[in-house]
Amino acid sequence: MKTVALLLFPGVQSLDVSGPMDVFAEANTFLAPDQGYRLVTVGTAPYPIRASNGQRLGADHGLDDAAACFADFDTVLVAGGPELALQADNPQLSAWLRKMAQSVPRYGSICTGAFLLGRAGLLDGKRVTTHWSDAAQLAAQFPLAQVEHDRIHVRDGALVTSAGVTAGIDLALALVAEDHGPAVALAAAKRLLVLAQRQGGQSQFSPYLSDAQAPDALATLIQRYVMEHLAESLSVEHLADVAGMSARNFARQFVREMAVTPAEFVQRARIDAARNLLEGSELALKTVAWRCGFGSAARMRLVFSQRFGVTPAQYRDSFRLCHN
């Protein structure tokens, strides 16, 4: 059997724990008793551990006695929590994680659990991912890590990391497929009514445009104009005219406010609009492409393939599967 340990702490996201554990537990129903997974939890004191949603969780091991079990662990996964990105380093936990990483064949994180690994120095020089909304902060805090913003999960040697919350399920399914083949992973996915392998990256679940804080800000003005004129040409010069600025000053101020160029902003806005239409309508692909400013279905297909690794048709089919 393979032993999988989940690390818990106060404020942990409960779905980061239960999602992967349910995947491994379902996989056990398709495996011989001596070939499945033994699931254990490791918790930091005090007990019981209260999750971010208020749920109380117990643990099989504390940090000290779990360290004595490292030789028996095959995989250790660090769950995430909504406040982890803002917390200070816990020297005791970081030391435990470093010792763990030297002892187990496979370890990693779910969602913001990557911040705990980063504070332990375990992300340096590694390709990693986390929830899309925390990826920039992860990259800023740990500049030696190669943060991949649009991946559902990433494997780099013994280290595995996943995007936010339900992506822990995707990661667990990938580990089951790695251990026992895709057929077992697919069977477990069917039992849980999830996709065995989601197509595309996590950008498909992270709308780029958000409600603006300041109604008179440059970003608010341009965001509103772009969304109302997606099918038109939206060059930097044209947007600068809308803002009443020179093209150079506009581009400089826009990047300062949005941390992205005007061209990239327009591209992401078009992608978001196309995703919404693909998810919620049966419009022809050429109609979606025209409404969202891509000009042609071929151009939209190229952009989707580059950004998500899937075509617009495959993207739409994935959402149909999720709702069936």
Residue partners of 129: CB distance under 8 A and separation at least 6? 114, 135, 147, 148, 149, 151, 152, 153, 154, 161, 162, 163, 202
Q: Does 69 qualify as catalytic in the annotation? A: no
Backbone angles phi, psi at 299, to 5 degrees: -65, -45
Q: How far apart are CA 183 and CA 30, in angstroms?
A: 10
Name the nearest CA neighbour of 279 among 228, 310, 305, 313.
313
| Structure token pair of residue 145 | 């890590």
Radius of gyration of the chain (CA): 22
Q: How many alpha carbons lie under 13 Å from residue 147 in its C-beta half-sphere?
A: 22
The one catalytic residue in 69, 111, 292, 322 is: 111
Q: How far is CA 46 from CA 15, 43, 49, 101, 142, in A?
A: 20, 8, 7, 24, 29
Q: How far apart are CA 129 and CA 200, in angstroms?
A: 14
54: left (phi over 0), alpha (psi -120 to 50) or beta: left
| Structure token pair of residue 232 | 């038109």
Catalytic residues: 111
